[in-house]
A and B are shown apart, each in its own frame.
Chain A
Amino acid sequence: MIQDILNACVLGSIYLLFALGISLTWATIGVLNFAHGAVFMFSAFTAHLIGETARLPIVLYAVIAAAAGAVMSALIQVLVFAPIQRRARDHRTAETQILIGGVGVASIPVGIAAYITKSGSFGFDLTGQNPVFEIAGLRFTLIGTTILVLALLISLGTAFWIRRSRTGLALRAIGVDHETARLMGVDERRLAIGTMAVAGLLSGLAGALLTVHLVAIDPTTGDGFLIKAFAAIVLGGVGSVLGVVLGTFVLAFAETFTILAGYGSWSSAISFALIFVVLLIRPQGFFGRKEVTRA
């Protein structure tokens, strides 16, 4: 039982690492980035391609993927989302167009990776770099433990950054009212690029760690994570880092124990039904505000 709880925590951390980047941009600069899953996959794919030329240590795979994710996300902001935001007649229209734009952008890296891999799975050459150790009868893998620890540290760091730093304050101001924030001297353009880069970095890091943990992913793996992350963020409450943590862990525990109960083919249905019931009772999610003001 304790091993199962530990496994559910690792799964929750996997979802959390992925979801944090989406939550960050959605809650602050108003970008619900549907290309996040593609960035996640393509960052890992970039590290995979480089790793094919020389066997790399696990840390280097993570660094390459994180850097690739940051660059990709920043480019998406500059080349796609920022022009949409400039030309849209109002904020709501911009949000909708960004959503559609994200779906369109996502198809490019997915298409490239699918073409190169012939839609097959890919991973890293890491023989012997993910050891298993046992403590008090519980089994841990190095990567599973790293994911668990990193997810919690990054969540705490993100929450601290958003709540305590001047940049975080500026981002929250953009989230509440971007026009007033601009009048107060907040450089929205620069902050948007920076926030997207941080979200991309998290996405790339998640891509590398999950590829190690899951052994192999394929060009469409990001899509499945995207839906789950979206659900977890809504469940936790848009704009709350603690909400994302809770949402992802509720989803992971629901899935794990549905499978353990022998209803594996119902895991998504039961998990999403649970989320639906919670949202019926509390539409703003666990930690969302009734009147949604981002961040």
Chain B
Amino acid sequence: MDYIILFAILGAVFYYISQSYGKYTEYSKEAFKNFSVSKFELENSELGLFVALVAKVAKADGKVDSLEAELVGVMFDDISGIFPEPEKTKEILKEIFNEQKDRTDDVKEITDRLFQKIKNNKSKQHQFMGFLIQLAFVDGKVSEEENRVLIVIAETMEFDPKVYHAIFDSFEKNINKVNPTNNIEDSYKLLGVKPTDDMGVIKKAYRKLVKQYHPDIIKSQGKGESYIQEATIKTQEINQAYEMIKKDRK
């Protein structure tokens, strides 16, 4: 029964989005070709403000864990790739992340600035929210502090609580569905490596797979609600296989 309600809500949300915003304003190199890369411009752009929120969610529980760092690192690459000066952009994004991660007093303000820019784009609001939720789920469960930050963001973006909780619950269900590879052989297989390979080779394979399958905020634009969830599940599987191998070799 729960499922039916959940699907009905998600379906309605979906329908609403597709009806109202059939035409996406997508992120692309073409769209950013005249962007002048500077800290000021980036800080005040959608993606810069989004990075600031990512920092706050990632650090909310007081710690940035290794998968969070892995995903945020790849996110820097994804975002900077569409700007005219990728290397410079990446350095500035790192600065923004670093400065923002310890500040919790301005979550509402930053979210509001982002919201003003994407007010007419429900799809973007959902993609950003979905990305932030998955980031909070990355270390297995959402801590109280992470939850608090997410709620402030959702409220400021004027998410209907029902819709927000539907997205959240659906993530939770999906994360719980991730099957940890039961045995070490499967873990090696999943990473495409051999038990005889050394840790350096395995780490490389792991990183390559994370890069390939992680939730990509740029690519997610224009894709359905399920995209970030599927990418999150795949990333979790890859990560669990890697963790299992590391543990086994201790």
Asked if chains A and B come from one complex, the reply is no
Task: Give the A-binding residues of B (Cβ under 8 A).
Answer: none
Task: Give the B-binding residues of A (Cβ under 8 A).
Answer: none
